Structure 1
Amino acid sequence: MVPWTCPVCRAALGPYGLDAVQEAHCPSCRASLRGQVFAAWWTPEKIESKLDRALEGEAVCFFHPSNRAALACDACGRFICTICDLPVGARHLCPVCLSKGLGKEKLPEIIPRRFLWARTGLAFGILPIICLVWPMWVISGGTAVILAIISWWRPVSLVRGRQRWAAILAIVLGILQIAGWFGFILLISYSKNNSGK
């Protein structure tokens, strides 16, 4: 732990040298100091675990043999303690059953990953422009707009949150692609009409 130091002379201060009510002075430079230090900062206490320890003859946790079993896993029937109890909806699962359920995606209550509609729409909006694949602009532009609109009503990413900027940018780029394609068609039809005169 880094000790408190005086902001003026950098001398180490004692644990109770600061008080929020009255001013204190640095023992080295006599600078005026005011602050509040909690006693727990200087004297870390050992936190005792509040687990139910199993007595002789009681059911114990499958994963923690010294802990009293609180209930049984709804999937496999193993006895589990309060640490291992993982409530999923109305069910109580042990860590092994939860990981098996996540791996096989058999737990509809838990969504391990979400499709990022706005980011995919943004990819459809940017990639054809960067790669200059202009014949695909109508398809990719429309797809970008549709995916961005879908993203407004879909659940948000648990990690990134709602990314409205990506959806807005995807809509703008998609509309620009569609407008560019129709502008190209109008330019061709206009040039054919003028070349025939």
Structure 2
Amino acid sequence: MATFSVLGLNSLAGRRQIHSLPSCPKCGAPLVEGVLNQPSLEPCPGCQSLLQVEVFPALFRRTAPAGSGEIVLVDGESSCFYHASKKAVLACQGCGRFVCALCDCELNGEHFCPACLETGKAKGKIKSLENRRTLYDSIALSLAILPLVIFIFWFFTIVTAPMALFMAIRYWNAPGSIVRHTRIRYVVAMIFATLQIAGWGIGIYFLIENLHG
């Protein structure tokens, strides 16, 4: 009995067409779809060895070939910004430039030219292409609480409290964690920072009063 799991076929998903299915590791016979992704062991159609084969659904997905762009046939017809001889099919939603079918990069229903797609990825302007985020709420909360937790650094709160309050207000609408969608950390940071600033203000006031008293 052979157990065979195909998990590394994601590279096939990007191809335009799939020309072959996984094969049996024992006899090399192609495995039909009825053998794939089954909850139990299934016999190989060639040698009858029991197999369990798991593949990604993208293996069977057929994607349409990309268009190469139509040639401009009429004078005055809008042409692609990047290919002057190609007919423009739409405008980039990032920069407004006309692009042909070849240059059209569709992403979640939006259309971008190659330059805007690359710029958006590099600068984080296209949220669906983000692979990292700065968690300003965690930074603000750390500035507000850590100096109090590490007691010997409590005097730093005269600096960290205004910084925490500024960050909480400045980045209130900034995208947060992908898995956490609340602003509770901003709220807690603002409360602690405000109390610390008020404490410093009261302390300085009484200190000045005592000096003049």
TM-score range, shorter chain: 0.3 to 0.5
Larger Rg computed on CA atoms: 1
TM-score, length-normalised on structure 1? Answer: 0.46
TM-score, length-normalised on structure 2? Answer: 0.43
